[in-house]
Amino acid sequence: MAFCYLAHRFWLLLKSGRRLGQKMPMACVGVSVTRLSSSLLLLASSSLACAHARTPEQRALIKRGDCTELLAAADYARAGGDSALASDLAKACPKDQFIRLTAAATPAQALLLCGRTAAAGYRVCDARTVGDYRAKLQPHLALGPSDEAIAIDPLIAVALEVLGKELNFSWNASDPDVVVGKLIVNIEHQTSSTVATVLDSKGKNQHVPATQHRFVAKAAGQVELGDKTRTLRAQDETRDLTWQALPRYSVAPKTDPAVPAEDELKKRAALAWLRVLGKALSANPPETVDVDDDRGCIAYGLALNSSAGDENAAAQGQGDSDRIAACEKLLGLPPGAGIPVP
């Protein structure tokens, strides 16, 4: 221990910024510059080695290799400012055991597991895995207009009635998390020549000239994502064939395409648009998301990282202190651990 103390004192001397050749403390008088430099480097290395010495309890914890225990201990180490210990503890978690934990977890808890290891300097989850979890996170988000006096768009109302529960969306005109504009849907009727296989009067297949009809319902609506207003687009289409009568082959004509009514086509486009909005918000959740549950807290952490352009911002507690503290408690993390998300 005395050696560690001496090494630590020399390491502090090295960190103080003194250049070789400057006047040194009395303890260094009579030592050549070259010799002193070598001694400082040697003792600095020894100091670092001493700093990484582990207690019997820590060594036993690492030896047991229980991921749940290790990551909990890593959280406390990171919150206490000991990043080296946090890294050692996280890296002691066997990867196969970690994969089993994430496989059995909800998307929110899986993202938290990935974030906790990453914050400790041990990146286990790749970008594709993280993207899959984010797409399934679906925190509750309230959509609403830019002015509460604006009534809900009828097409958005229909889409929310069908998909609101699945996507975890609701409507709140007075206090929305996400501001959306009017949804505009246009229907295009496109035709092209083709060949159809049809039955003649005797039940035999005949190849006849035909016209393919495509009815494409295109939806577009503006949404505030982060600090930008974006126009999201989606479409849905249906197709059918028509052909003329061919008496020689006893083929009856089909003159009208069988397609849904215009209102149904617009509804389908609105549903497609709301799904596109869901994907956009999974990639860029708003900071206004409620933090009443783990999904909201994880989404808030992701939003903080995106806003700061720093994947460690939320883990470092760079956000509203009250919301960060509430999420630490809700997620079972120690104070100071932030919201570690990948």
Residue 58, domain member (yes or no): no
Put the strands of the sheet holding 205-225 in their side by side order.
184-199, 205-225, 228-242
Taking CA atoms, 114 is separated from 72, 109, 128, 325, in Å, by: 13, 9, 12, 20
Chosen domain end from 260, 283, 306 = 283
Residue 190, domain member (yes or no): yes
Residues 274 and 291 in one domain: no
Residues 220 and 276 in one domain: yes
Tokens 């246009």: give the residue. Answer: 186
Residues 276 and 321 in one domain: no
Residue 57, domain member (yes or no): no
Q: Please provide the DSSP assignment of 139-180 as one string.
A: --EEEE-SSTTSPPPHHHHHHHHHHHHHHTEEE-SSS-SEEB
Residues 42 and 87 in one domain: no
The residue type at 320: D
Supply the range of the domain harboring residue 10: 2-51
CB within 8 A of 34, min separation 6: which ones? none
Residue 56, domain member (yes or no): no
Res 303: pLDDT: 96
pTM for this one?
0.76
Residues 151 and 134 in one domain: no
Q: Are 46 and 76 in contact (CB under 8 A)?
A: no
Q: What is the pLDDT along the chain (342 residues), one digit of tens a residue?
A: 433 433 334 333 333 443 333 333 333 333 333 333 343 233 333 333 444 578 888 899 999 999 999 999 999 999 999 999 999 999 999 999 999 999 999 999 999 999 999 999 999 999 999 999 999 999 999 999 999 999 999 999 999 999 999 999 999 999 999 999 999 999 999 999 999 999 888 888 999 999 999 999 999 999 998 788 999 999 999 999 999 998 888 899 999 999 999 999 999 999 999 999 999 999 889 999 999 999 999 999 999 999 999 999 999 999 999 999 999 999 999 999 999 999
Residues 108 and 34 in one domain: no
Residues 89 and 183 in one domain: no
Question: Which tens digit of pLDDT belongs to each residue from 4-29?
Answer: 433 334 333 333 443 333 333 333 33
Residue 228, domain member (yes or no): yes
Number of domains, the chain: 3
Residue 116, domain member (yes or no): yes
Q: Which long-range contacts (CB under 8 A, 24 or more apart) does 165-168 make?
A: 167/138, 167/274, 167/275, 167/278, 168/138, 168/139, 168/140, 168/141, 168/295
Nearest to 210 by CA among 247, 246, 249, 259: 246
Question: Which tens digit of pLDDT belongs to each residue from 256-290?
Answer: 999 999 999 999 999 999 999 999 999 889 999 99
Residues 242 and 272 in one domain: yes
Residues 225 and 258 in one domain: yes
Residues 311 and 248 in one domain: no
Residue 49: count of CB within 10 angstroms of its CB: 11
CATH number for 248? 3.30.160
Residues 151 and 202 in one domain: yes
The string over 209-227, giving b where at least 16 C-beta atoms fall within 10 Å of a residue's C-beta and e elsewhere, is ebbbbebbbbbbbbbbbee
Res 42: pLDDT: 36
Residues 244 and 303 in one domain: no
Question: Hey, which residues does 196 pair with through a beta bridge?
Answer: 208
Res 225: pLDDT: 87
